[in-house]
Amino acid sequence: MKTTLLILAAGLGNRYGGLKQLDETGPHGETIMDYSVFDAKRAGFQKIVFVIRKDFALEFEKKILSKYRNQIEVEYVFQDISDIPEGCGFNASRKKPWGTGHAVMAGQKAVNTPFAVINADDFYGYDAFCVTFEYLQKTQQTQGKYSMVGYIINNTLSESGFVSRGVCRVDENNILTNITERTKIEKTNNFISYIDDNGNAVKIPDNSIVSMNFWGFTPDYFEFSKKMFADFLNENGNSNDAEFYIPSVVNNLINSRQAEVKVLTTTAKWFGITYAQDKIQTTANIKKLIEKGEYPQKIL
């Protein structure tokens, strides 16, 4: 059965200060996306779809897509702020993208198979792609049978500042029962906390499972999210900052019993780039993996 990897690469990267999706982290100029495509291909994925912004399409075509055309089926789509359901409106002064939930919706133009979703600037590791691919194969086209790769929160923080994570509740069968998007998470004074709407620091247990936006979906997800996005715009269309997150869609589907999300465990270690300072550690981590023989010196 054909499977697709949808890579979200349209973020502005405000905290990073540039287009981190195109930043070089490997010994021969590889980006994190290059390693994701390499891992996805050897895990069994047959098509890659990138979600990007129109304003860096030419640079993306030159630096990224040209490398893959003879290796795997590849396509890109645009996340456009004006791409909204019929009958909805929004604040014309808004510049910020609508968030990860909207970015996934853009993929519908190029995805009609079971698919995985990842961030462009996160290094997930080969095993994470393997377990997701295997689950997509096992569930075939069963509607509402989704998956998420879970990571321990203590292993996903940045030493350079706060991060955002989807904090999860999981039952004894590794089924997701709730996911809440938390922002401004960081470790201070030996404990992890996030800042709530009142500005208070709320502690998060060190062993909490979090989502790093590695999801497995079937195409019915697009229709679910489209309906929820219309509701989101009716409430938040005039906002310059409100974002439509994947966890919001997933929570709604879980609570309404329209979907079940299996939390997959992996031996892979996550790392990524949120701030410019994180690039040094990411480059060092990739070097270690190459020295251990988990990746070749050149992957392209």
Q: How far apart are CA 26 and CA 34, in angstroms?
A: 9
Which CATH fold topology does 4-143+211-245+267-291 show? Answer: Spore Coat Polysaccharide Biosynthesis Protein SpsA; Chain A (3.90.550)
The model's confidence at residue 23, banded by pLDDT at 50, 70 and 90, is confident
pLDDT of 21 reads: 64
pLDDT of 97 reads: 86
Least confident of 2-16, 60-74, 115-129: 2-16
pLDDT of 262 reads: 98
Task: Indicate the helix (H) or strand (E) that contains 220.
Answer: helix 220-236
Percent of the chain residues past pLDDT 70, beyond the cut: 96
Q: What is the DSSP letter of 265?
A: P
Q: How far apart are CA 93 and CA 82, in angstroms?
A: 12
Place of tokens 């990897």: 5
Burial of 282 from C-beta contacts in 10 A (0-12 / 13-18 / 19+): buried
Strands (E), the chain: 4-8, 47-52, 73-78, 115-119, 122-123, 145-152, 163-170, 176-188, 191-195, 201-204, 209-217, 260-264, 271-272
pTM: 0.92
Residue 10 has pLDDT above 50, yes or no: yes
Q: How far apart are CA 205 and CA 167, in angstroms?
A: 10
Where helices occur in 9-64 by DSSP H, the ranges are: 32-43, 57-60
Place of tokens 């490398």: 67
- Quick one: tokens of 204? 């998060």
Place of tokens 């979090």: 210
pLDDT of 290 reads: 97
Q: How far apart are CA 125 and CA 156, in angstroms?
A: 13
Percent of the chain residues past pLDDT 90, beyond the cut: 71
Task: Please give the backbone phi and psi of residue 178, each rounded to the nearest 5 degrees, phi first.
Answer: -165, 145
Rounded mean pLDDT of 1-7? 94
Q: Looking at per-residue confidence, does 95 or 235 come out higher? A: 235
Cβ neighbours, 10 Å, residue 66? 11
Residue 268 has pLDDT above 70, yes or no: yes
Residue 14 has pLDDT above 50, yes or no: no
Which pLDDT tens digit goes with each residue over 213-266? 999 999 999 999 999 999 999 999 999 989 999 999 999 999 999 999 999 999
Residue 16 has pLDDT above 80, yes or no: no
Q: Which of 138, 145, 116, 142 is nearest to 259 (CA)?
A: 145
Place of tokens 């247990």: 205
Q: How far apart are CA 287 and CA 140, in angstroms?
A: 36
